[in-house]
Structure 1
């Protein structure tokens, strides 16, 4: 019973953290400078690269768990792709927000030209 309660609490906290990261990404992407919005996608991309390198390092120290080199490469590709889901989501939020900012700026320039 205690483990089920722990799982539910952990799951709720995990969802709250994910929502917090998404809200933070939206706020950073809405800033005038384009660089703050690229911070979180860059961090998640670096973390996925670390996970991919870790697969190669683990395979180099203990090859018995992986089998052939193709299995290591496949495991590294799967690690890279699965860890980049958050990078894709955060980059998508960034591109959407920057597109909205650019459209508003273009509309403002058009309105000024119409005057």
Structure 2
């Protein structure tokens, strides 16, 4: 069976660049797999991007709004409350705990605050 490649050249270049970086990296295969697992989901990448952009603690509702903005490309007034609520729940129950467990973020449940590690 012959298949025709359908990857965009940018994707191919990116993968090759990542592979070159991995060759120079001294991380174990397990560490690399764990890192790619954390980055595999777009919503987790957006959560990390939001926290890196702001560089300070944010309330989880504010983070959910910003992630929804980045996912949809719309401003907050043009995003349904249901969409933001779904994003909040997804972050709270799935994505945030994974990133907290990995040591990339902290979460203050009492204040509903997401804290980048560098701010500690």
Between Structure 1 and Structure 2, which shows a larger proportion of helix residues? 1
Greater per-residue strand proportion: 2
TM-score, length-normalised on structure 2? Answer: 0.31
Q: Which has the larger radius of gyration?
A: 1
TM-score, reference length from structure 1? 0.32
